[in-house]
């Protein structure tokens, strides 16, 4: 059983980590995780361990309220649209406005206290009263949360640290500064949360593929409107010019050209007519179409892509895992340093306790690692979002990070480097068989195969008046096909299979290109010769990858002469005449010669190359538009056949990594600088809280630079 909860309005990422830890300790929980990009908690449960789901829901809400009272919780049903979202956002807005009013009122009372002190108005310590009221209004929620966490044994969180820092400031007489620092902290936290929420929304806008209102034609000809989630298979959808197709289906009326750029990242038009399959997310560029829905929205291309991208951040990169672990130790270490700063110098006779306590408070203010905890996953989320908009689906932050470490790129030849559109160029006949006879036997045997050469044979069907009845077939992967057709035994496949295993003899193919050999009743019958060609621009792409220092090679089951010809044109190494298990062995050999950090990427079609995709460090499936198998089997999915997308993916990965490390260096650098300045008495609490909140905001905005650059490029 899997439960999902949407969390809105949380200001403290480290607090949410504590929520997740607490949920994971509940009976019956297999795993709980926070999806940063979705603002969701996903919980996997043992079905037989949870008797009352409603009671469990309340436990989750109580834990969220304990550690992050500003957050609101809503249970999510992924099979339905969230109809309560507007009400949910209204509640959050009311809660936010209430906090702003309290904060403004607190600052006002703090100002009254400051004016009373400055003008020496000391009636019944009214200035202290103003300060206390102002402090409680501005930071009471922080102090209360710190107390609740303390009771729960959770000490090192930003609520506790800010409470100790500001209360300490008041105890040494720095009342105005205590209130001002608390107020600025609250404003900074609010701005930080707004910035993160806005950032996530901006990234999600890249994936606005969904159609809200859809026109549906009923059996009596009436036009009604439905949401995408309400469409059922068999519904007839009216798609006007400029409309997005809401679910996968098939055209039953009309002709048009569909823009597939939302799915592939390339602005290309695909001409379609009655009988053609279409995917959700495509845009009708002209005319009107009637499309019969074949899938529910949740099973259509758009829903699968959006879900894949949003859930990709659940697969954490090594950097994210390191930062999460680092954050657990960073705060306690800084607090220990603060304690030493407060105690050691005065004991050694250097300055007064009040002076060093004040300096120690600065350490507490900047001891929260929020800038890192928030900005790092946001950087990866932005990189994944931009990749998706360009037709590159990266199935996890870990794979985006790995793309930046690619050392070797291994290609399947057909359909990856070449167009994969073979054309029969020549037929060499044996033993007095006629061309029509061998074509009929070969096409009949291969009529259900999806191999590229089999499809090329099928294109010759129009030359025949009929096909043979196929009585039985047996496929030998990587070798060929055995069939009984019209009481004749047919062998059709590779030279190695027919010559080495079947003991037949064929002449050498001097024409280059691919070949298929045919035997009828254990006698050589024909040698079919096919021609393929390199994809346009492929030489330049391979050259650019070489310039990046990447090693490249071809692994192919095709014969040596054919593979050598392609490899020679591209100037890369090759392995030919390989069985599927041979490819895995060679991949292992290549990986053994690389360091642990260096990654190997394999590019194939995601169907015939599934074992190689799975064994490589990064499996990249090409031409996956409308292909569920490819999306499920690969780590990175390129939705069209453009190998240039590999260059784009590596570039996005490199830029994302640079942003991540810029944020790490900037955040830690600023904190270290202010710790040093604070310990030397050159920076006060004001500067410390400004540095803490400011660097978090800067890190968030820096994370989005890849998004802004992409929009400018558009």
Q: CB-based burial of residue 207 (10 Å sphere; 0-12 exposed, 13-18 middle, 19+ buried)?
A: middle
Check whether residue 588 and residue 523 sit in a common domain: no
Average of per-residue pLDDT across 242-257: 91
pLDDT band for position 84 (cuts 50, 70, 90): very low
Average pLDDT of the segment spanning 632-653 = 87
CB contact at 8 A, 141 and 169: no
What residues contact residue 713 under an 8 Å CB cut-off, 6+ apart? none
The position carrying tokens 């809400």 is: 61
Residue 90, pLDDT > 70, answer: no
Residues 252 and 341 in one domain: no
Quote the tokens at residue 326: 């680092």
196, 204, 406, 650 from 618: Cα distances, Å: 30, 25, 9, 12
**CA 146/CA 162 separation, integer angstroms:** 9
Contacts of 120 (CB under 8 A, 6+ apart): none
Most confident of 413-422, 602-611, 662-671: 662-671
Please indicate, yes or no, whether residues 288 and 331 belong to a single structural domain of this protein: no
In the DSSP assignment, the letter for residue 472 is E
d(C-alpha 9, C-alpha 255), whole Å: 47
Task: Give the pLDDT score at 80.
Answer: 47
Q: Which of 305-309, 406-410, 508-512, 689-693 has the highest mean pLDDT?
A: 406-410
Element (H, E) at 304: helix 301-312
- Please write the tens of the pLDDT for every residue from 536-552: 899 999 999 999 999 99
Residue 50 token pair:
């949870």
Sorting pLDDT into bands at 50, 70 and 90, what band is 162? confident
Q: Considering the domain boundaries, does residue 226 fall inside one?
A: yes
The reported pLDDT for the residue numbered 663 is 92
What's the whole-number mean pLDDT along residues 510-525? 88
Return d(Cα 279, Cα 69) in angstroms, integer. Answer: 43
- 3-class DSSP string for 52-89: CHHHHHHHHHHHHHHHCCCCEEEEECCCCCCCCHHHHH
Instruction: Determine, yes or no, domain membership for 128.
Output: yes
The overall pTM is greater than 0.75? no
Q: How many CB atoms lie within 10 A of CB 92?
A: 16
CA atoms lying within 13 Å on the CB side of residue 498: 26
Last residue in a domain, options 78, 112, 139: 78
If phi > 0 it is left, if psi is from -120 to 50 it is alpha, else beta; for residue 40 that is beta
Whether residue 708 is predicted with pLDDT greater than 70 in this model: the reply is yes
Sheet with 406-411, side-by-side order of all strands: 392-394, 636-638, 618-621, 599-604, 406-411, 551-555, 573-575
CA-CA distance, 316 to 525, in Å (whole number)? 56
Residue 234: its pLDDT value, please?
Answer: 94
The CA distance from 73 to 60, in Å, is: 9
Indicate the pLDDT class of residue 85, thresholds 50, 70 and 90: very low
Which CATH number belongs to the domain containing residue 25 in this structure? 3.30.70.100
Are 35 and 176 part of one and the same domain? no
Cβ–Cβ < 8 Å for 138, 186: yes
What local confidence, expressed as pLDDT, does residue 83 receive? Answer: 41
CA atoms within 13 A on the CB side of 513: 19
Distance CA 41, CA 5 (A): 5
Average pLDDT of the residues in 561-573: 90
DSSP letters spanning 540-595: HHHHHHHHTT-EEEEE-SS-HHHHHHHHHHHT-EEE-S--HHHHHHHHHHHHHTS-
Q: Of 454, 448, 561, 559, whose CA–CA distance to 498 is shortest?
A: 559
Sign of the alpha-carbon torsion through 342, 346, 351, 354:
positive
Helix (H, G, I), strand (E, B) or coil at 276: coil
CA neighbours closer than 13 Å in the CB half-sphere of residue 144: 12
CB atoms within 10 A of CB 148: 15
Q: What is the CATH number of the domain that holds 496?
A: 3.40.1110.10
Local structure of residue 500 (DSSP, 8 states): I
CA distance 357 to 339: 8
Domain with residue 293: its CATH number is 2.70.150.10
Q: Would you say residue 89 has pLDDT above 60?
A: no
Tokens found for residue 614: 């799975």
Listed residue (352, 409, 393) closest to 172, CA to CA? 352
CB within 8 A of 432, min separation 6: which ones? none
Q: Tens digit of pLDDT for each residue in 385-444?
A: 888 888 888 888 899 999 999 999 999 888 788 887 888 988 999 999 999 999 999 999
Given a contact cutoff of 8 angstroms between Cβ atoms, the answer to whether 110 and 130 are in contact is yes
Q: Report residue 87's pLDDT band, with 50, 70 and 90 as the boundaries.
A: very low
Could you give the C-alpha distances from 283 to 214, 380, 387, in angstroms and in order?
13, 29, 20
Q: What distance separates the 2 farthest-apart alpha carbons in the chain?
A: 121
Residue 307 is assigned to a structural domain of this protein: no
Q: What mean pLDDT is predicted for residues 532-536? A: 87
Cα dist from 333 to 12, 78, 95, 227, 469, whole Å: 19, 41, 34, 53, 78
Please say which residue of 531, 565, 596 terminates a domain: 531
The reply to whether 40 and 161 lie within a common domain is no
Task: For residues 565 and 534, give the distance between their C-alpha atoms in angstroms, rounded to a whole number.
Answer: 11
pLDDT at 153: 67
- Specify the pLDDT at position 664: 92
**Tokens 């794979």 label which residue?**
399
- Is the distance from CB of 24 to CB of 202 less than 8 angstroms? no
Least Cα distance to 181 among 123, 135, 236 occurs for 135
If asked whether residues 324 and 261 sit together in one domain, one would say no
User: Is 142 in contact with 163 (CB distance < 8 Å)?
Assistant: yes
Question: Are 516 and 540 in a shared domain?
Answer: no
CATH assignment of the domain containing 547: 3.40.50.1000
Return the DSSP state at 244: B
Within-domain flag for 648: no
**Residue 200 and residue 316 in one domain:** yes
What is the pLDDT at residue 200? Answer: 64
Is 412 an annotated catalytic residue? Answer: yes
The first and second tokens of residue 687, run together, are: 């500067």
Q: In what order do the strands lie in the sheet with 249-253?
A: 223-227, 213-217, 236-239, 289-293, 249-253, 277-278
Angle between helices 158-171 and 126-151 (to 10 degrees): 150
Number of domains in the chain: 5
Return the closest-CA partner of residue 386 out of 622, 654, 598.
654
**pLDDT for position 94:** 47
Q: Which of 334, 352, 206, 198 lies closest to 281, judged by CA? A: 206
In this structure, the answer to whether residues 402 and 361 fall within a common structural domain is no
Q: How confident is the model at residue 651 (pLDDT cuts 50, 70, 90)?
A: very high
Q: Of the ranges 18-22, 194-198, 351-355, 399-403, which is most confident?
A: 399-403
Same domain, 319 and 198: yes
Same domain, 56 and 94: no
Confidence band of 572 (pLDDT split at 50, 70, 90): very high
Taking residues 571-600, what's their average pLDDT? 87
**Residue 50 burial (CB count, 10 A):** 17
Average pLDDT, integer, range 174-195:
76
C-alpha 637, offset from chain centre? 11
- Domain boundary (78, 113, 132) is at 78
How does the average pLDDT of the chain come out, rounded?
83
Q: Give mean pLDDT, residues 643-651.
A: 92
Taking a C-beta distance cutoff of 8 angstroms, is the pair 174, 153 a contact?
A: no
Evaluate whether residue 446 is within a structural domain.
yes
Taken in order 297, 299, 300, 306, is the CA torsion positive or negative?
positive
Q: Is 651 inside any structural domain?
A: no
The torsion angles phi and psi of 251, rounded to 5 degrees, stand at: -75, 130
In this structure, is residue 644 part of a structural domain? no
From the centroid of its chain, how far is CA 520? 51
At residue 602, the pLDDT reads: 93
Q: Which one of the listed residues 412, 532, 617, 640 is annotated catalytic?
A: 412
Q: 329: buried, middle or exposed (CB in 10 Å: 19+, 13-18, 0-12)?
A: exposed
| Parent domain of 65 | 2-78
Q: Are 688 and 362 in contact (CB under 8 A)?
A: yes
Q: Are 466 and 538 found together in one domain?
A: no
Mean pLDDT within 8-30: 79
Structure tokens, 502? 């079947």
How confident is the model over 227-250, as a mean pLDDT? 90
Whether residue 583 is contained in a domain is answered as: yes
């Amino acid at each position: 059983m899997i439960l999902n909860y949407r969390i809105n309005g949380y200001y403290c990422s480290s607090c949410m980590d504590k929520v997740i830890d607490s949920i994971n300790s509940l009976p019956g929980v297999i795993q709980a995780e926070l999806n940063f990009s979705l603002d969701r908690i996903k919980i996997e449960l043992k079905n037989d361990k949870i008797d009352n789901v409603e009671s469990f829901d309340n436990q989750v809400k109580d834990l969220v309220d304990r550690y992050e009272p500003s957050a609101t919780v809503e249970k999510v049903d992924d099979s339905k649209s969230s109809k309560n979202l507007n009400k949910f956002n209204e509640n959050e807005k009311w809660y936010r406005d209430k906090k702003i009013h309290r904060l403004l009122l607190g600052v006002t009372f703090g100002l009254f206290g400051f004016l009373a002190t400055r003008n020496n108005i000391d009636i019944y310590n009214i200035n202290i009263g103003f300060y206390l009221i102002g402090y409680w209004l501005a930071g009471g929620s922080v102090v209360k949360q710190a107390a609740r966490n303390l009771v729960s044994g959770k000490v090192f969180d930003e609520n506790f640290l800010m409470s100790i820092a500001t209360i300490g400031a008041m105890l040494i007489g720095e009342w105005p500064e205590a209130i001002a620092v608390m107020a600025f902290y609250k404003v900074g936290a609010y701005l930080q949360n707004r910035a993160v929420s806005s950032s996530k929304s901006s990234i999600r806008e890249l994936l606005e593929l969904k159609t809200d209102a859809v026109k549906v034609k009923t059996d009596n000809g009436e036009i009604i409107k439905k949401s995408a989630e309400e469409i059922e298979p068999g519904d007839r959808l009216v798609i006007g010019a400029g409309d997005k197709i809401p679910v996968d289906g098939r055209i039953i009326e009309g002709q048009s050209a569909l823009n597939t750029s939302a799915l592939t990242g390339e602005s290309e038009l695909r001409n379609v007519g009655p009988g053609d399959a279409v995917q959700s997310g495509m845009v009708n560029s002209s005319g009107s179409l009637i499309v019969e829905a074949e899938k529910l929205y949740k099973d259509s291309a758009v829903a699968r892509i959006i879900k894949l991208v949003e859930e990709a951040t659940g697969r954490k990169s090594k950097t994210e895992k390191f930062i999460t672990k680092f954050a657990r130790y960073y705060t306690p270490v800084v607090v220990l340093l603060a304690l030493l700063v407060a105690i050691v110098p005065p004991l050694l006779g250097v300055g007064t306790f009040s002076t060093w306590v004040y300096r120690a408070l600065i350490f507490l203010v900047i001891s929260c690692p929020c800038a890192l905890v928030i900005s790092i996953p946001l950087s990866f989320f932005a990189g994944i979002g931009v990749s998706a908009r360009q037709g590159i689906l990266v199935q996890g932050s870990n794979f985006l990070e790995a793309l930046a470490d690619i050392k070797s790129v291994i290609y399947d030849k057909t359909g990856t480097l070449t167009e994969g559109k073979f054309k029969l160029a020549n037929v060499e006949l044996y033993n007095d068989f006629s061309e029509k006879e061998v074509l009929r036997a070969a096409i009949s045997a291969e009529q259900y195969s999806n191999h590229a050469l089999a499809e090329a044979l099928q294109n010759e069907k129009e030359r025949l008046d009929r096909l043979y009845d196929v009585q039985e077939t047996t496929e030998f992967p990587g070798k060929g096909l055995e069939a009984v057709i019209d009481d004749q035994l047919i062998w059709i496949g590779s030279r190695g299979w027919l010559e080495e295993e079947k003991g037949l003899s064929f002449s050498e193919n001097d024409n280059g290109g691919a070949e298929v050999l045919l035997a009828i009743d254990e006698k050589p019958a024909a040698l079919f010769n096919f021609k393929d060609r390199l994809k346009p621009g492929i030489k330049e792409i391979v050259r650019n990858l070489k310039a990046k220092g990447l090693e490249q090679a071809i692994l192919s089951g095709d014969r040596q002469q054919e593979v050598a010809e392609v490899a020679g044109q591209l100037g890369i190494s090759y392995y030919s005449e390989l069985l599927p298990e041979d490819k895995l062995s060679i991949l292992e050999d290549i990986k053994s010669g690389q360091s642990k950090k260096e990654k190997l990427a394999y590019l194939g079609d995601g169907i015939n190359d599934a074992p190689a995709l799975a064994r490589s460090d990064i499996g990249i499936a090409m031409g996956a538009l409308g292909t569920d198998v490819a999306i499920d089997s690969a780590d990175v999915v390129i939705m069209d056949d453009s190998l240039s997308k590999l260059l784009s993916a590596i570039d996005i990965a490199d830029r994302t990594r640079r942003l991540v490390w810029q944020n790490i260096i900037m955040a830690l650098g600023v904190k270290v600088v202010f710790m040093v300045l604070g310990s030397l008495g050159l920076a006060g609490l004001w500067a410390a809280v400004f540095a803490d909140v400011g660097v978090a905001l800067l890190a968030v905005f820096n994370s989005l630079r890849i998004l802004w650059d992409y929009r400018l490029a558009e």
